[in-house]
Amino acid sequence: MANLSVIHGVNVPVRSISLPSRLQLNSIETELNELKTFGVLPGLQPSHGSGETGFTRLAKLYTNIVEIIQSPLTHKALHHQQNVVKLIEEALDDSVGLLDACSTAKDLITTMKQQVQDLQSALRRKGRDSSIGSDILAYINFRKKFKKSIGKSLRALKRLQCNNVNGTTFHCHVVKLLNSLKQSNAVTISMFESMLSFLSMPIMKTKAGGWSLISKLLSDGRNQKGFNEVGTVDFTLYRLHGRVRKNDAKIDTHVELRRLETLCATIEGFEDGLDCLFRCFIKIRVSLLNILTP
């Protein structure tokens, strides 16, 4: 008779793990440990020595988990086993939260991308025309509202993160698989938080000197390291808006267009990563539901 492990009050049978599944689960754990120490912008920046981004690697990780869930070994261990139904239902609840979080993030990314592209079009079309002031101001006002939306999403992610902290350390096939899934979800939430924080780069303004200090920082390439693409666009647009209001004859949108182009490329990178992860979450959910289906 199989040994039993008690997890959250549930008796889970400890079955032997086939070599391929054990190696695959060990590989997933190794990848998870690496992803937990990813860089400043884990969702987009490639890791050292690899052209893969955090989102790309996460998608591959979830794909491997789906393969194990769908394997005959897992179905044999889980099918009609009432003592693990609770664990699977918890995983299904987590999948709903991740799908909602990913969908919300996708909506935010799409909205910002549209605003950036609209401003790009306006700057190209109007060039040195002083009427670009209204377009710049519209983007600035959008960014202020956008930051509030991101704050709301970050709070929702924090609640979702609390639901994913209680993993297990048992080594039976079923529980080890579901624990790997839970840890993957925790890493994903962390990456979502990093991405949203990146997009909500604070719009700072000095009380005494207005935007003069920021203008000096932006004019010196050595001092721009503290700004990400979002913050740099915000600062340069505030500076440009000030020149437009003063009817500055030296108005030139070349720099702003270049920085908007860089920002748009970054946003599209996030967009692609989120699309990929969203499909993975659907596959995970379908695979778990299939296990519960008689």
pLDDT digits (tens, 9 = 90+) for 130-164: 678 889 999 999 998 999 999 999 999 988 876 66
Cα 173 to Cα 87: distance, rounded to the nearest angstrom: 13
Whether 215 shows a pLDDT value over 70: the answer reads no
Place 119 in a pLDDT band, splitting at 50, 70 and 90.
Answer: very high
User: Of 29-43, 51-65, 178-192, 233-247, which has the strongest mean pLDDT?
Assistant: 178-192
Average of per-residue pLDDT across 104-116: 95
pLDDT band for position 29 (cuts 50, 70, 90): confident
Query: 220 Cβ partners below 8 Å, 6+ apart?
Result: none
- pTM of the complete model: 0.78
What contacts 173, CB < 8 A, 6 or more positions away?
15, 16, 17, 21, 25, 73, 74, 77
For range 248-257, the mean pLDDT: 75
Confidence of residue 14 (pLDDT cuts 50, 70, 90): very low
